[in-house]
Amino acid sequence: MDIVVLDGHTENPGDLSWAPLEAFGQVTVYERTAAADIVTRIGQAEAVVTNKTPIRRDTMDACKGLKFIAVTATGYDVVDIAAAREKGIVVSNVPAYGTEAVAQAAIALLLEITNRVGHHDHAVKQGRWAAGPDWCFWDYPLVELLGKTIGIIGFGRIGRTTGRIAGALGMKVLAHDKFETDDGRAIGEYVPLERLIAEADVIALHCNLTDETRDLIRAETIARMKDGVIIINNSRGPLINEADLAAALNAGKVRAAAVDVVSKEPITPDNPLLKAENCLITPHISWASLECRQRIMDITARNLEAFVNGAPVNVVSG
Catalytic residues: 236, 265, 284
Q: 39-43 long-range contacts, Cβ below 8 Å, gap at least 24? A: 39/63, 41/4, 41/6, 42/4, 42/6, 42/66, 43/2, 43/4
Q: Does residue 185 sit in helix, strand or coil?
A: helix
E-assigned strands of the chain?
2-5, 26-29, 47-50, 68-71, 90-92, 149-153, 172-176, 189-190, 202-205, 229-233, 254-259, 279-281
Look up residue 115 and give its amino acid: N
Residue 204: beta bridge partners?
152, 232
For residues 16 and 72, the answer to whether their CB atoms sit within 8 Å is: no
Separation CA 103–CA 168 (nearest Å): 13
Name which of 235, 226, 264, 231 is nearest 245 in CA terms.
Answer: 231
E-assigned strands of 200-253?
202-205, 229-233
Separation CA 129–CA 209 (nearest Å): 44
What pairing do the DSSP bridges indicate for beta strands 2-5 and 254-259?
unpaired
Q: What are phi and psi of 159, to 5 degrees?
A: -60, -40
For residues 306 and 94, the answer to whether their CB atoms sit within 8 Å is: no
